[in-house]
Structure 1
Amino acid sequence: MGKTAIVYWSGTGNTEEMAKAIQAGTREAGAEAQLFEVEQFSPEEMGSYDGFFFGCPAMGDEVLEESSFEPFFALAEKKLAGVPVALFGSYGWGGGAWMEAWAERTREAGAKLFSDGLIVENGPTDEDLKACEALGKSFAEACGK
């Protein structure tokens, strides 16, 4: 795999912390991974990348963040057919239904979804960050760096 983009939205810093750990794991595997807050990345740039990590916490009634991330993803999902994708995010309540729905939506877009999404309750612990690093590394290795 050539270049991977890690695109996320984080309100409290939890999802950002996860994104940085994923980036570290991806780089440990020898892959190039660039980190972007969702406002810094446009769906028009997607053709320059070979794979994606998308990160967003559960919001409100277990949905994606509605003002920035959801509009971005609605455009991005139209470009995911055949593309390796991994999802991640944190939640404070509800148990992860938003990730299940997001994973299904991503599959329906035709993406090559890597796992069913990595979720962390509240702030990531050291163990959670290790899981994020492992996700980054295994994604890079499975996608051929």
Structure 2
Amino acid sequence: MIYASMSGNTEEMATAIENGIRETGAEIDVMDVNDCPDPAVLENYAGILLGAYTWGDGELPYEFEEFYDDMDKVDLAAKAAASFGSCDSFYPKYGAAVDLLNEKLTERGARLIHEGLKVELTPEDDDVESCKEFGRRFANELLFSKQNK
């Protein structure tokens, strides 16, 4: 999982998703996008989760831009993937960063196994549970995919 968080909302989502994944017994590596300068690392994993808040009127956060552009150099064929992020309904494009990440993952050949998970601003208790469930479903889908190969 690679994510960007400015106010801590997307980081809180990432932690809840990680907890959901670990509840299934699966392992996960979690990195802030600032600590992962090379998207080629994504090729080492069967499953990919990307998280980002939406900036301004529908852009990726600045700290994700270079990583996003450099994803054009990676082959994610047959990788299971999903995206998530905190959003603000004040802006005209709700959660556009999640949509942009999903589009990039698909463009690079990944197989989206979930719709993007979008949470309004700070995750409330029910949002945290939704994030955990998102993680559990992601891990279970990955395990199911591996068993059927």
Task: Say whether the fold is shared (TM-score over 0.5).
Answer: yes
Q: Which runs of 5+ in 2 are unaligned?
A: 145-149
Between 1:31-40 and 1:73-82, the stretch displaced more is 73-82
> 1:70-117 CA distances to partner (integer Å, 9 max, x unpaired)?
211222353322211110001123323443343233222221112220
Moved over 4 A (4+): none
RMSD of aligned residue pairs (Cα, Å): 1.7
Task: Give CA deviations for 1:110-142 in whole Å, capped at 9, x if unaligned.
Answer: 211122200011100111111110011111101
Q: Distance in 2 between matches of 1:141 and 1:119?
A: 20
* Residue in 1 that maps onto 2:130: 131
Aligned residue identity for 1:22: I
Identity among equivalent positions (%) equals 37
1:13 aligns with 2:8: yes
Aligned counterpart for 2:58 among listed residues 44, 47, 62: 62
Aligned to 2:140: 141
Q: How many Å apart are 1:37 and its aligned residue?
A: 0.4
- Structure 2 counterparts to residues 1-145 of structure 1, below 5 A: 6-41=1-36, 42-66=38-62, 68-76=63-71, 78-92=74-88, 93-94=90-91, 95-144=94-143
Instruction: Report how many residues are paired.
Output: 139
Is 1:54–1:86's contact at 8 Å kept on the other side of the alignment? yes
In structure 2, what residue type is equivalent to 1:112?
R
Hey, which of these two has a bigger chunk of strand by percent?
1
- Please identify the structure whose Cα radius of gyration is greater: 2
Measure, in 2, the Cα distance between the counterparts of 1:62 and 1:85.
21
Q: Do 1:91 and 1:119's aligned partners in 2 also have CA atoms closer than 8 Å?
A: yes
Gaps of 5+ in 1: 1-5
Q: TM-score, normalised by structure 2?
A: 0.84
